[in-house]
Structure 1
Amino acid sequence: MDQAPGSSDAPEAAGGLPGCYRHPDRETGISCTRCERPICPECMVSASVGFQCPTCVKEGSGTGHAPQAARPRTIAGGSVADDPRLVTKILLGLNLALWFAVLGAGDRLVDELDLVGRLQYYYGGPVEGVAEGQWYRLLTAMFLHQQLMHIAFNMLSLWWLGPPLEAALGRVRYLALYLLSGLGGSALSYLLASPGQPSLGASGAVFGLLGATAVLMRRMNYDMRPVLALLVLNLIFTFTWGNIAWQAHIGGLVVGAAVAYGLVHAPREHRALVQRATCLAALLVIVAMVCVRTLQLTP
């Protein structure tokens, strides 16, 4: 049940910070500038000054108050969507569709889409890979899986991390974050791994979402211990388990955190410019890594 505007009886979460008035289990250090109720990223609506809760936005849009609040915005300046999970669902669908395609086509499809720098096929086959101009592999490898446990773990992680970020950033910014994180992981794998070592999976993008979650939680003054513990645990698995491309994990993590920082810390008066510059800078770094490695592998 919603509390009356101005009420000080906000639910308090276990960590000491108040809980969102609509989601009491979510700690937050941000309050509505009109009614002062605590609000989480999903409930934040950007106003001319600070953030407002959905209740005040609804009331203001019908009474002429707070005209800026009539156009709901996320903490990163994106449009508030009716379904904050739509892009995550589409990404899940693409990963699953390609996995089923692999089940039907077999290893031949994997050989055509996985990330490989330069691979000399046996029996006089052609030399092919990213170094030969097949840059599409940097992207297709992000959606490619073979093992059931591999895709299950990545998709569960995507479903857990994705929707809160999509709600907080908006659809376009969230999609840019996901794609740049995945490409960052692919680029670092291409740069550092053996040129003939195949790599595939959404792990780089998922690690980017994990890094972005940490940045967002820090921005919202949330308790950082849960996400930091999860990050440390995943890094331990990255460097101790076999057959894991650690380069993809680290590349995705670094790019995801950097892009998220630019998205949520961009000053309001220059928000669009700073956010576009952040994404462009990340893309240029990715292209630079690919070009450097290609020069190294090309005679």
Structure 2
Amino acid sequence: MDQQPPEDQGRPAAADGSPSCYRHPGRETGIRCTRCERPICTDCMIEASVGFHCPECVRKGSGTGHHPAATRPRTLAGGRIASDPRLITKILIGINLAVFLAVSVAGRDLVEDLLLFGRAYTDDQAAAPEGVAEGQWYRLVTSMFLHQEVLHIAFNMLGLWWLGGPLEAALGRARYLALYLLSGLAGSALTYWITDPGQGTLGASGAVFGLLGATAVLMRRMNYDMRPVIALLVINLIFTFTWSGIAWQAHVGGLVAGALIAIAMVHAPRERRNIVQYGACVLVLLAVAAIVVGRTAVLT
């Protein structure tokens, strides 16, 4: 008996003949609903006690008299299924664009107020040095949303949109936001630690590289073909270490932090999921704090 609903019948498989998500034609997937065995992608799969269920099976199960918690839709990482799986991604892009427009209007003064640098005199008339080492720790965060050139913000926002949407759907909003912010902070911390204290850096690249590392972990968890993401990672790392003017420290710090957090997010055992996931986030945050405090002690 054909278990597809009428609106899904006749939908094509992926271009190479491999199984395609029944709700998203052409989107290749190796995951099937454990109830009806229809192929489902990461945006559609809902974690169950055994395997994953499709949205239709979850809706049917919610009317069986079971406790609501037993059939409440959850993402792969245990987060709640959201009606808009890209909401946080859209908000982050909006914040970056708003800061970019503000910088375009306000000019260099705002850039200097938000820029990441360790310790330096901002001009010849400055009475005292400024920077993270002088207590301006907020620069570790504000620099993550700061861009000056159109090409710079365009590349970062495209990466955020392409990588962020699937990750937000797979992790859930809170976990995804923690991944993004901690990856960016890790990139800022490594930059602060290694670069010259007077060298300014800015951009969302550290956070975006964290999403790239997390995407690789998620694809490995889902048994997807790793070749596309590995190729993308290699290309980005080549640009990171060959193009001038790129803070490779932010890229590497974000990549490592994003991959580590994602491992905890998607591989945490169900019975200890929250402890493992939040514990990993806390450990990354403590590592960031240790780096910042240690570097500050050296510079002052």
Smaller-chain TM-score range? over 0.9
Note the C-alpha offset of 1:199.
0.4
Return the offset for 1:187: 0.4
TM-score normalised per structure 1: 0.94
Is 1:86 the counterpart of 2:87 in the alignment? yes
Separation in 2, partners of 1:130, 1:49:
48
Matches for 1:138-287 after TM superposition, within 5 Å:
138-287=140-289
1:2 is displaced (CA, Å) by 7.9
Shift of 1:55: 1.0
2:3–2:36 CA contact under 8 A, matched in 1: no
Q: In structure 1, what is the Cα distance between the partners aligned to 2:203 and 2:241?
A: 17
Kindly state the Cα deviation for residue 182 of structure 1 after the two structures are TM-superposed. Answer: 0.4
User: What does the per-residue CA deviation read over 1:25-66, in whole Å, with 9 as the maximum and x for residues that have no partner?
Assistant: 333232211111122111111222221000101111123369
Q: Which residue of 1 aligns with 2:101?
A: 100
Alignment check: 8 A CA contact 1:57 1:69 kept: no
For the pair 1:77 / 2:78, whether they are aligned, the reply is: yes
Deviation per CA, 1:109-158: give whole Å up to 9, x if none: 00010100011233241201001111100000000011111111111111
Q: d(CA) in 1 for partners of 2:82 and 2:210?
A: 22
Matched, 1:31 2:27: no
Q: CA deviation at 1:167?
A: 0.4
Cα distance change of structure 1 residues 251 and 15 upon mapping to structure 2, 3 Å threshold? farther
CA distance in 2, matches of 1:11, 1:3: 13
Distance in 2 (alpha carbons) for counterparts of 1:33 and 1:166: 23
Query: What is the Cα deviation at residue 108 of structure 1?
Result: 0.2
Alignment coverage as a number of residue pairs = 296
The 1-side partners of 2:92 and 2:260 are apart by 21
- Matching residue's letter, 1:103: S
Q: C-alpha distance in 2, partners of 1:122/1:58?
A: 63
Give me the whole-angstrom Cα distance separating, in 2, the residues matched to 1:19 and 1:154. Answer: 29
How far the C-alpha of 1:4 sits from its partner, in A, is 5.2
- Aligned residue identity for 1:257: A
- Seen in structure 2, the aligned counterparts of structure 1 residues 128 and 220 have a Cα distance that, compared at 3 Å, is same
1:43 aligned partner? 44
Q: How far did 1:291 drift?
A: 1.2
Change (3 A) 1:12 1:296: same
* Secondary structure class of the residue paired with 1:20: coil
CA distance in 1, matches of 2:125, 2:205: 33
Supply the distance in 2 between the matched residues of 1:74 and 1:286 (Cα, whole angstroms).
Answer: 28
Counterpart position of 1:56: 57
Identity %: 68
**AA partner of residue 45 (structure 1):** I
TM (normalized to structure 2)?
0.93
Consecutive unaligned residues of structure 2, counting only runs of 5 or more, are none
Return the alpha-carbon distance in structure 2 between the equivalents of residues 292 and 15 of structure 1.
53
In structure 1, the gaps of 5 or more residues are none
Given residue 176 of structure 1, which amino acid in structure 2 is its aligned partner? A
State the Cα distance separating 1:19 from its structure 2 match. 2.2
Q: Deviating runs (4+, > 3 A) in structure 1?
A: 9-17, 63-69
